[in-house]
Amino acid sequence: MITDYDYGDVEVEREILEAAGAKVIALQAKREEDLFDAAADCAAMMNQYARIGTSVIARMRKCEVIARYGVGVDIVDVAAASDRGILVTNVQDYCTEEVADHAISLWLSLARKLPDYDRATHAGVWRWQSGKPVYRLRGRTMGVVSFGKIGQAIADRARAFGVKVIAFDPFLPASVAAQHGVELVDKAVLLARSDYILMQAPMTPDTRHFLSDAEFAAMKPGAILVNTGRGPTVDNKALYRALTDGHLAAAGLDDPEEEPAKRANWSPADNPIFTLPNVIVTPHAAYYSEESIRAARVTAATQVAKVLTGQRPDYPVNADALAITTH
């Protein structure tokens, strides 16, 4: 059972899963209730944006595996799945380069005031002052929040522009940061020192509104924020206040806090961030390239095929909880 997808079709998944003896049924669920009937008899469930929570998992009688099309599993109740003996898998290492490129693109676009210049020239204004002020990148400080593979790829790119990179990641050994020429600091230091903050944080109970009013007030005046991690890690109402009162210069978001793809109905009117000219918002597209999309689909389907044919998957999330062994 594929809960939802925006790829146009599920032929990639169907080819892999039918070869493993599975029948593929694809839905476009936006609410958990839409999955109740499907949950009862499915042997596996794959999801892109639809949440698979306790109420869905409780109805599963035959399910062996829940597979996420992506790295984050915050929209799967992993603990509930473990309690029912259901394996959860994800897709790793498929979009590191794309997300890092996207984060750097947002940062450079905002730092060099490309949206301002573009609007001005399209309106017939041909003045370098239409983007004023623009500051030199070299010698400034970039703070990266969460320094996993994507954060490391962002730092490696950013150093080419002459910025000093610092990072906050309480789970990372200092030796790993040192290998990338990056100084590990605590949250308060990162906020105080950074001219640019690039967020790559996953969504957990601890990271929800990781940046809110207090954090924005602690940032340097004129700082630029880029978030290519989960949308709800940034409090959008607080960000709106920081941008409109002039404390922050600009923001680039790959997903607003409400994460529109996970909603049945959405309008930009729901979020005042969309009214601001110093904000770039992309539609959760940082991970996208033709190559990465295919890799995500093939890998997610392959995890399911392996489990259903008695093989160990490549990317189990809760194997320790289940003490998974090849059978």
For residue 277, give the DSSP letter: T
Q: Is 183 assigned a catalytic role? A: no
CB burial of residue 327 (10 Å; 0-12, 13-18, 19+): exposed
DSSP state letters, 91-111: --SSSHHHHHHHHHHHHHHHH
Options 51, 68, 102, 230, the catalytic residue = 230
What does DSSP say about strands 183-184 and 196-199: parallel, antiparallel, or unpaired?
unpaired
* 8 A C-beta contact, residue 115 and residue 109: yes
Where b means 16+ CB within 10 Å and e means fewer, 133-172 reads: eeeebeebbbbbbbbbebbbbbbebbeeeebbbbbbbeeb
Question: 15 is written with which tokens?
Answer: 């080819």
Catalytic, out of 51, 102, 284, 297: 284
Q: Is 284 a catalytic residue?
A: yes
Contact 160, 107 (CB under 8 A): no
Per the residue annotation, which of 259, 294, 297, 312 is the catalytic one? Answer: 259
CA atoms in the 13 A half-sphere facing the CB of 224: 24
Q: Which two tokens stand for residue 200?
A: 């790559």
User: Other C-beta atoms within 10 Å of 178: how many?
Assistant: 11
Catalytically annotated residues:
230, 259, 284
